[in-house]
Copies of this chain bind each other. A is one copy, B any other.
Amino acid sequence: MTLLEKTRSGRDDPRLAPVAKRENLSPGELARRVAEGTVVVPWADGHDLAKPIAIGRGCRVKVNANIGTSPDKSGLEEELVKLRAALDAGADAVMDLSIGGDIRGIRRRIRENCPVSLGGVPIYEAAFRCSSRRRPFRRMTAGDMLEAVRSHVEDGMDFVTVHCGITRAAVDFFRDKGRICGITSRGGSLLARWMLANNEENPLYSHFDEVVDICRSRDVALSLGDALRPGALADAGDRAQIHELYTLGELARRAKTRGVQVFIEGPGHVPFDQIPAQMRLEKIACDQAPFYVLGPLVTDVAPGYDHLVGAIGGALAATCGADFLCYVTPAEHLRLPGTDDVRQGVIASRIAAHAADIANGLPGARDWDDAMSRARKARDWDGQFELAIDPELARRSHGSAPPRNESVCTMCGEFCALRDDDDLF
């Protein structure tokens, strides 16, 4: 039985207790939410997962870091260094998006070194195989695509992103309307081309039950990819995107009926004012399934700062229903992220997630801030560094401009308001 089936049938799974504890939920409450599909615990059979997580209603907002090779940069060692950077910075989950080099070998090595939930994107493997055999992607069969899902499941991924919701109807809406940035999802672009070249439906849609059953075999969670996510503010919320979202809602119901946990992927580039509606719509269309968003990015004009742009959108999204933030790094739109990009991306998303946890009134979320503010008021610098989301950076920054008087910083010096208050209040 899968975890979803167990929770539905009222059977206990000892794996839930530690996860529930970290969320300040009772195991029974967590089990109820998994059963109703508002929370997922991506944890494949046989994975000795040191830091499992719950994602969804009433849980701390989680952060995912994407790593992985590209055709231009495909070193295993570099990816393991990035994995370590993501974990050190506090990523709750990791996805391996490798599309270059020995992708299966890389995936397995990443899994060996990954104590958190690990996800992958099978269609990339399928595309990579075609490319390395110099075979056009359009010649691929449904069987090839299912095979890539199977290899991810066999390799022990805890969740897989599958772009099942981009249907011919969605692509037709899309072609009718036009967009500035077309399809920016790699998986979506591949499948759209496949459908148009073959004049057939998306195999991952038409063979959806098989996709689900492959995942069910090792209790792998399904992350339903948003192939038509907007890649420009101008493209947000168009008919194609929302058509796909409602298709994902239908597929999510089918997956759950077959015993597989599911969450929904979302945008992307979205104007700040449209974020609440997009988040609400996902909850309506997908029966409150957990929502996993990329950013959202609230402006297109800031390459080099897209981690910050994504943190702005992510904070609002996560106060409006998003449960899981996929990080965006400063390298977005410019190059494959390096180690420092990974670190900055994770921290930026964690700040957004934490701001939302506080805003959402998650019990205990603000304790961390209050402890920091007490240390700040006491000018307890070591305490502040230890409590900082990035202790090393805080220590280095303060130390780079040593104050004359150690109890203050160089901003106010002798005019430190916090110190001067001490005798007053």
Binding site for B on A (CB under 8 A): 70-73, 99-100, 124, 127, 131, 174-175, 178-186, 188-190, 192-193, 196, 231-235, 269, 271-273, 298-305, 307-309, 311-312, 315-316, 319, 330-338, 347-348, 351-352, 354-356, 358-361, 366, 368-370, 372-374, 376-377, 384, 387-390, 393-394, 397-398, 400-401, 403-404, 409-415, 417-418, 420-421, 424-425
Closest to A234 in B: B370
Residues of the B chain whose Cβ atoms lie less than 8 Å from the Cβ of A73: 401, 410
B residues near A360, Cβ cutoff 8 Å: 273
Instruction: Give chain B residues whose Cβ lies under 8 Å from the Cβ of A298.
Output: 315, 355, 358-359
Contacts of A374 in B (CB 8 A): 180
Contact B401–A309 (Cβ < 8 Å): no
Q: Judge whether B182 and A418 touch: CB under 8 Å.
A: yes
CB A67 to nearest CB in B, in angstroms, measures 12
In whole angstroms, how far apart are the Cα atoms of A411 and B184 in the complex? 12
Interface contact B335-A411, CB-CB below 8 Å: yes
Point out the residue from B71, B234, B315 that lies within 8 Å of A415, measured CB to CB: B71
Choose among B355, B388, B401 the residue that contacts A336 (Cβ–Cβ < 8 A): B401
Partner of A315 from the list B272, B388, B390 (CB cut-off 8 Å) is B272
Q: Closest Cβ of chain B: how far from A82's Cβ, in Å?
A: 13
Q: For residue A232, which residue of chain B has the nearest CB?
A: B373
Let me know if A334 and B301 touch, CB within 8 A. no
Cross-chain contact of A417 among B186, B333, B372, B376 (Cβ < 8 A): B186
Q: Which of B196, B390, B398, B418 contacts A335 (CB 8 A)?
A: B398
Q: Are A301 and B372 in contact (CB under 8 A)?
A: yes
How many Å lie between the Cα of A184 and that of B418 in the bound state? 6
Contact yes or no, A421 B315, CB < 8 A: no
* Contact status of A233 and B366, CB under 8 A, knowing A273-B319, A302-B388, A397-B304: yes
- Report whether A70 and B185 are in contact in the complex, using a CB–CB cutoff of 8 Å: no
Q: Could you tell me if A335 and B72 are in contact, using CB atoms closer than 8 angstroms?
A: no
CA distance A202 to B240 in the complex (A): 61
Asked whether A373 and B300 contact (CB < 8 A) given A71-B414, A330-B397, the answer is yes
**Nearest CB in chain B to that of A361: its residue:** B273
Q: Collect the chain B residues with CB atoms within 8 Å of residue A418's CB.
A: 181-182, 184, 231
Interchain CB contact under 8 A, A233 and B72: no
Closest A-B pairs by Cβ, 10 of them = A232-B373, A71-B413, A189-B417, A273-B359, A182-B421, A272-B359, A300-B369, A335-B401, A304-B393, A298-B355
Determine how close the nearest CB of chain B comes to the CB of A150; give it in whole angstroms: 21
Q: Which residue of B lies closest to A174 (CB)?
A: B425
**Is B309 a contact of A312 with CB atoms below 8 Å?**
no
Are the CB atoms of B358 and A271 closer together than 8 Å? yes
Q: CB-CB < 8 A to A100: which residues of B?
A: 413
Considering residues A71, A370, A393, which has the most beta carbons from chain B within 10 angstroms of its beta carbon? A71
Q: Is A369 within 8 A of B301, CB to CB?
A: yes
The reply to whether A232 and B193 contact each other, CB–CB distance below 8 Å, is no
B272 and A390 within 8 A (CB): no
On whether the beta carbons of A373 and B233 are closer than 8 Å, the reply is: yes
Given contacts A184-B418, A358-B272, contact A300 B376 (CB under 8 A): yes
Q: Smallest distance from the beta carbon of A337 to chain B beta carbons, Å?
A: 8
For A350, give the chain B residue with the smallest CB separation. Answer: B302
Closest Cβ of chain B to A402, distance in Å, is 9
Contact B272 A403 (CB under 8 A): no
Q: Which of B188, B189, B190, B417 contacts A183 (CB 8 A)?
A: B417
Instruction: Give min CB distance, A271 to chain B, whole Å.
Output: 5
A413 near B70: Cβ-Cβ < 8 Å = yes
Q: In the complex, A397 Cα to B307 Cα: how many Å?
A: 14
Given the complex, which residues of B lie within 8 Å of A366, measured CB to CB? Answer: 233-234, 271
User: 10 more A-B contacts (CB under 8 A) besides A271-B359, A308-B351, A312-B351?
Assistant: A71-B404, A73-B410, A180-B370, A185-B417, A269-B373, A298-B359, A303-B384, A309-B351, A332-B411, A333-B376
**Which single member of B234, B303, B404 contacts A397 (CB below 8 Å)?**
B303
Q: How far is the CB of A413 from chain B (nearest CB, A)?
A: 3
